[in-house]
Amino acid sequence: MLTLTIIQILQVLLNVLWWVIIIQFVLSMLIVFNVINTSSPFIRSLHDGLDRLTEPLYRPIRRMLPNTGGIDFAPMIVLVAMAILNIILNNVGAAMLSGGNAI
């Protein structure tokens, strides 16, 4: 049961990270299209904080991706990887509950 609890905690953390990435993406789009600007200290600190949280995830992916101009595909790749990890965690948890093989 401890392993199942760890799986559930990992799923909650993945869900929080998913929301952080989505909020960071929307905030970046609002800044790029000048709907909001970074002259506000709150917006600037929020944007900087979200960038600091997500940059360690994006950096290795950006190094592997070809240069696509102004389009950053790193957030999409991280979200897809997180969805795959969530599926794996669901299957492992379900296998543990049913008493079957986890792999």
Which tens digits make up the pLDDT trace of 43-98? 999 999 999 999 999 999 999 998 888 788 999 999 999 999 999 999 999 998 88
pLDDT at 32: 87
**What does the pLDDT look like over 10-53, one tens digit per residue?**
999 999 999 999 999 999 989 989 899 889 999 999 999 999 99
> Which pTM does this prediction carry?
0.85
7 CB-side CA count, 13 A: 18
> Is the confidence at residue 103, as pLDDT, over 60?
no
End-to-end CA distance of the chain: 17
Non-local (6+) Cβ contacts of 78 within 8 A are: 21, 54, 57, 58, 61
